[in-house]
């Protein structure tokens, strides 16, 4: 069983060595810039840890894990654009559009999405790419609700924006149930740290209690899975306690 650190090292090295489509030419630099920006790699980590817990070789899950991270990067690059969230800074350095210009930011985001699907399509079955594209469509719909301010409720918005990418990982029902809880946990803690969403809705104590309950449910889901889920349990505990 790999440790969390080993799995993250696996992802980082795979992303570093990833050969992009040569036709992207000069777009390679902004695309790599967007992916390299010191993200926590939560999604690929969960993907690899789930694959290993389910008995697969984590190496075999690397293209899917990297595809998740690329779709995540795509969404950040486009969300940061002036016409959307207008963020000039991402993880302590200029966001992709602020560094390379707005037009390049749009195209780099497009390239990230297409590269993600190219990776997902390296599997002999189309199932991985199908999951990813469905999750991406839900995420785009969620982002639209976000910018139009027409979100029906926080839980629905979260399910679309974040949850979709987490639950893309496994077909089996108990894994999906686990993924739903982890996606929700991630969003609640994000809101606590950003003083947004669930924190505004429930207050600091209420949001913290909700995060703890959600983490407990995620842990309970893991016990239902007939597999060694110790690494995943550690990841969930880390997500619940994270401070950045």
Distance (Å, whole) CA 101 – CA 41: 25
Q: Which DSSP symbol is given to 89?
A: E
Phi and psi, residue 90, nearest 5°: -140, 125
Compare residues 95 and 104 and give the one whose CB is closer to a second copy. Answer: 104
Q: Return all residues near 152 (Cβ < 8 A) that are at least 6 apart.
A: 145
Min separation Cβ 84 and a second copy, Å:
5
Compare residues 106 and 233 and give the one whose CB is closer to a second copy. Answer: 106
Q: Which residues bind a second copy (CB under 8 A)?
A: 21, 23-27, 74, 78, 81, 83-84, 101-107, 109-111, 113-115, 117-118, 121, 123-126, 129-130, 133-134, 136-138, 140-145, 147-148, 150, 160, 164
Compare residues 53 and 157 and give the one whose CB is closer to a second copy. Answer: 157
Contact 203, 150 (CB under 8 A): no
Q: What is the C-alpha radius of gyration for the chain, rounded to an integer number of angstroms?
A: 17
Min separation Cβ 96 and a second copy, Å:
12
Compare residues 125 and 243 and give the one whose CB is closer to a second copy. Answer: 125
Compare residues 44 and 138 and give the one whose CB is closer to a second copy. Answer: 138
Min separation Cβ 58 and a second copy, Å:
22
Min separation Cβ 50 and a second copy, Å:
22
Tell me if residue 133 falls in helix, strand or coil. Answer: helix
Other CB atoms within a 10 A radius of the CB of residue 184 amount to 25
């Amino acid at each position: 069983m790999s440790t969390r650190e080993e799995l993250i090292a696996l992802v980082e090295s795979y992303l570093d060595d990833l050969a992009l489509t040569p036709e992207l030419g000069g777009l390679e630099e902004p695309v790599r810039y967007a992916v390299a920006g010191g993200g926590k790699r939560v999604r690929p980590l969960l993907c690899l840890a789930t694959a290993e817990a389910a008995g697969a070789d984590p190496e075999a899950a690397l293209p899917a894990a990297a595809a998740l991270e690329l779709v995540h990067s795509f969404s950040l690059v486009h969300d940061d654009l002036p016409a959307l969230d207008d963020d000039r800074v991402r993880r302590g350095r200029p966001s992709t559009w602020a560094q390379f210009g707005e037009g390049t930011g749009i195209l780099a985001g497009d390239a990230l999405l297409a590269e993600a699907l190219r990776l997902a399509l390296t599997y002999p079955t189309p199932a991985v790419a199908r999951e990813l594209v469905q999750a991406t469509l839900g995420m785009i719909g969620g982002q639209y609700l976000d910018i139009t301010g027409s979100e029906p409720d926080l839980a629905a918005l979260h399910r679309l924006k974040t949850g979709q990418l987490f639950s893309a990982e496994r077909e089996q029902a108990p894994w999906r149930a686990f993924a739903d809880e982890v996606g929700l946990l991630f969003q609640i803690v994000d809101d606590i740290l950003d003083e947004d969403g669930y924190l505004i809705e429930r207050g600091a104590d209420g949001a913290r209690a909700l995060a703890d309950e959600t983490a407990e449910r995620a842990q309970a889901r893991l016990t239902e899975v007939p597999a060694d889920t110790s690494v995943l349990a550690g990841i969930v505990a880390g997500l619940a306690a994270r401070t950045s």
